[in-house]
Amino acid sequence: MAAAAELSGRSPRAKGYWKVLWSPLALLLTFLLLQAGSADQTEEYLKREHSLSKPYQGVGSSTSSLWDLMGNVLVTTQYVRLTPDLQSKQGAVWNRVPCYLRDWELQVHFKVHGQGKKNLNGDGFAIWYAKDRMQPGSVFGSKHNFVGLGVFVDTYPNEEKQHERVFPYVSAMVSNGSLTYDHSRDGRPTELGGCTAILRNLNHDTFLVIRYVKRRLTVMVDIDGKHEWKDCLDVSGVRLPRGYYFGTSAATGDLSDNHDIISLKLYQLSVERTAAEEAMDKEVFVPSVDNLKLPGADPTSESMSGFAIFLIVFFSLLGLVFAGVILLIVYSKWQERSRKHFY
């Protein structure tokens, strides 16, 4: 009887163990299968409402146009010239339709060319995914305290000591409006990353791509005429709100260039997300970058202060120990002496 009870008691418990074992196993298996299925299965769709291409029919002129023009921009059938190769010009083109896509890729076909010889040309152009559109300003012809993402193609080194950096230089910046692009330092204090890209006066086509997938921002360039993307920058944890506008702007100063946009092609990327990723991917309303460490904020001062605190604590403790030892010695000497004194 006892053995039978034990047996009948054991088998449901064994089933229970199997269940407990099986469910995470099943989860893991499903997860692995989903992973295998979704690996690099990114589908691309060209979104016409966010794209600009030849022959730019009605751009800027008709009320049904998807793009607005600003400043000295000139539209021909072959290109959109943001600035001509003349001093002190600014121009921009902005998408009228806010973008609500979560994952996207913007391919920019451009041409920068002019009479200026090495480093006697400027200033460059910017590609925007920003909250405010059509606002002139001092950041490559656009709003100074922008909110959103700016990718800059800087063709002129403003900062004098550019020992280790060769221009043109491509860089990116994300701001909630509180950061300032420092033109005199080529935006170095606020850049997320960047690369040198020799892209002026070339006879072949030049491209740049900005990809934003699962909060990962990557910028690549194709400027060697080989139809290959080359990595430029790659930053994770970039939180960009939806509903911002794509645009591009350029400026010239004492030095100049033709800044031409041949096309802007925006692709929607369909990316699989796991339930966990989906839960983590809450919509944001202010642009930000996780664990942001800007080159402008001196990282050594922070670690030095930590080290300094350590040193202070260490030497204080050492001092206390020394003081204690000395006190002990003095006390024992005094006791010895007082003993001698009394006896």
Ligand X SMILES: *[C@@H]1O[C@H](CO)[C@@H](O)[C@H](O)[C@H]1NC(C)=O
Min. distance of Cβ 238 from Ca ion in angstroms? 23
Return all residues near 231 (Cβ < 8 A) that are at least 6 apart.
Answer: 195, 218, 220
Q: Tell whether residue 176 is a contact of ligand X (CB under 6 A).
A: yes
Q: Which residues of 168-195 are buried (b: 16+ CB within 10 A; e: fewer)?
A: bbbbbbbbbeebebbbeebbbebbbbbb
Q: Does 156 engage in binding with Ca ion (CB under 5 A)? A: yes
Q: Which is nearer to Ca ion, 175 or 252 (CB)?
A: 252
The residue within the footprint of ligand X, chosen from 8, 62, 77, 178 (CB under 6 A), is: 178
Q: How far is CA 274 from the centre of its chain?
A: 23
Least separation in angstroms between CB 155 and Ca ion: 7
Question: Which segment (138-146, 176-184, 232-240, 335-343) binds ligand X by CB under 6 A?
Answer: 176-184
Q: Supply 301's token pair.
A: 């001062």
Complete DSSP assignment for 171-212:
EEEEEES-----GGGTTGGG-SEEEE---BS-SS-EEEEEEE
CA distances from residue 232 to 174, 196, 208, 287, 292 in whole angstroms, order as listed: 16, 8, 9, 21, 18
Identity of the residue, 156 or 212, whose beta carbon is nearer to Ca ion in the bound complex: 156
Candidate segments 8-16, 24-32, 179-187, 201-209, binder of Ca ion by CB under 5 A:
179-187
What distance in Å separates the CA atoms of residue 82 and residue 59, rounded to the nearest whole number?
A: 13
Nearest distance from C-beta of residue 280 to ligand X, angstroms: 19
State yes or no: residue 291 binds ligand X (CB under 6 A): no
Q: Cβ of residue 190: shortest distance to ligand X, in angstroms?
A: 9
154 binds Ca ion (CB under 5 A): yes
Among 46, 286, 308, 311, binds ligand X (CB under 6 A): 286
Binding site for ligand X (CB under 6 A): 176, 178-179, 286, 288
